[in-house]
Structure 1
Amino acid sequence: MPLNRPDLRLPGLPSGIRAPFRTLGPGSVSSLLKIALDVAYVLLMIITAVLLLAFVVAIFIPIENYNVTYRGVQQPLTRSLTLSGLGSFSAYFGGFLLVLRNLRMVFSTLAIGDPFQPENVSRLRQIGLILAVVTIGSWLVQGLIAAQLASRATNSQGAGELLTPVFSILVVFVLAEVFREGARLRRESELTI
């Protein structure tokens, strides 16, 4: 059952004043965000493809004569370091490509004005799971690469760096439950009509 609201009533405004925009349905803010997600998805797909191509090329290119400077310490660039760095970046951007794919599908339901579809619950759960894997993976890989490059020049990673990502992941899982409850209520209302 699509939500057709011509505009949005904002809390705190007098009863006759309404916001000049819609949040759901065709021509709404959701539609504009869906377009932005589509553009970001294509750009991220290109970046991921370039990184994967660079990973494959790095397998065959000799790199013995190159050095890398990390926090003031110069080290020789090794093949394993190059491949692990390119592979990590590819996985990182590939993970966010999957997040954007699911977000695009959620926003397509918002753009048609029908957000409480049961599929959105699994999409949001997938987003939360992917964000958790990417967050933990990038934290571990950063520590490993820093240890490979210059263990004496790096500060140790703390769990405090994970506070904001973990909070974001929990918010996504809570939103999934909100959507699940909305889909359940919608299903019940359709059965009673």
Structure 2
Amino acid sequence: MRLPTLKPLGISAPFRTVPLFRTLGPGSVSSLLKIALDVAYVLLMLITGILLLAFVAAIFVPLTGPLEGQTYVEGTGDAAREVPITRTLILFGLGATSAYFGGFLLILRNLRQIFRTLTQGDPFRPENVRRLRQIGLTLTVVTVGVAVAQGLIPSIPDPGFSEMLTPIFSVLVVFVLAEVFKEGARLRHEAELTI
């Protein structure tokens, strides 16, 4: 069965439509974005791998050399104090950063798979609903993790409501998009049954 093709976006002139670009299929904007996501995925995979290696090395390598006896300033103004850099602090920082980048690596993996279906011209697949839900869940975990980490480190100010508004809004938008894709997949399935 052949699915109907979508018309490219364009500027409507009085007597004809001038196509600007195609949004779906091979050679479209979706395929260009898929390439950008592939590059970002590889770079993020390298960064996450390096962070994980540094985390494992920090477990076994003794804290000597330039970091031994070093401190950092925690707080501001009269409440500022010097805190020694310890193995626990380094492990926490590397672990939290690795988890942060790992979460976004999972998000990019799902986005790449969604854009693969866009490039094929078939976005309303049931697996895209699952992928969008996974993106929303991962984004929720990353957002909550950042808020918890900010609460654990006194030198980082707690996020206010306005700072949490964008991540919360993003999570809600992703879950709504998942439901839109679910409805699109349902309608597509019904259309296939009637043909």
Q: 1:186 aligns with which of 185, 188, 191?
A: 188
Q: Write the mapping of 1:121-132 to structure 2, written as runs, cut at 5 A.
A: 121-132=129-140
- Is 2:115 the counterpart of 1:114? no
- Encode CA deviations 1:126-161: one digit per residue, 9 max, x unaligned: 00000000001011112212x2xx4xxx54432332
User: Which residue in 1 is equivalent to 2:57?
Assistant: 57
Whole-angstrom distance in 1 between the partners of 2:157 and 2:103: 27
**Distance (whole Å) between structure 1 residues aligned to residue 61 and residue 26 of structure 2:** 50
Say whether 1:81 aligns with 2:105: no
Counterpart pick for 2:71 among 67, 86, 101: 67
TM-score normalised by structure 1 residue count: 0.88
- Please give the alpha-carbon distance, in whole angstroms, between the structure 1 residues aligned to 2:51 and 2:28: 35
Instruction: Supply the RMSD in Å over aligned alpha carbons.
Output: 1.8
* Residue in 1 that maps onto 2:8: 7
Aligned counterpart in structure 1 of residue 173 of structure 2, from 149, 171, 174: 171
Establish whether residue 96 from structure 1 lines up as the match of residue 117 from structure 2: no
SS at match of 2:19: coil
Seen in structure 2, the aligned counterparts of structure 1 residues 156 and 37 have a Cα distance that, compared at 3 Å, is closer
Identity of aligned residues (%): 63
Contact 1:116 1:183 survives alignment (8 Å): yes
Query: Deviation at 1:116?
Result: 0.3
Gaps of 5+ in 1: none
**Contact 1:116–1:179, Cα closer than 8 Å, also in 2:** yes
In 1: Cα distance, 2:43 partner to 2:102 partner: 12
Structure 1 SS opposite 2:83: strand
| Distance in 2 of aligned mates of 1:47 and 1:192 | 49
SS at the partner of 1:18? strand
TM-score w.r.t. the length of structure 2 is 0.88
Q: Which has the higher contact order (CA 8 A, sep 6+)?
A: 1
Report if the CA contact (8 A) 2:10-2:21 is conserved: no
Q: How many pairs does the alignment contain?
A: 185
Asked if the contact 2:150–2:158 (Cα under 8 Å) also holds between the matched residues in 1, the reply is no
1:52–1:87: 8 Å Cα contact kept in structure 2?
yes
Tell me what 2:37 maps to.
Answer: 37
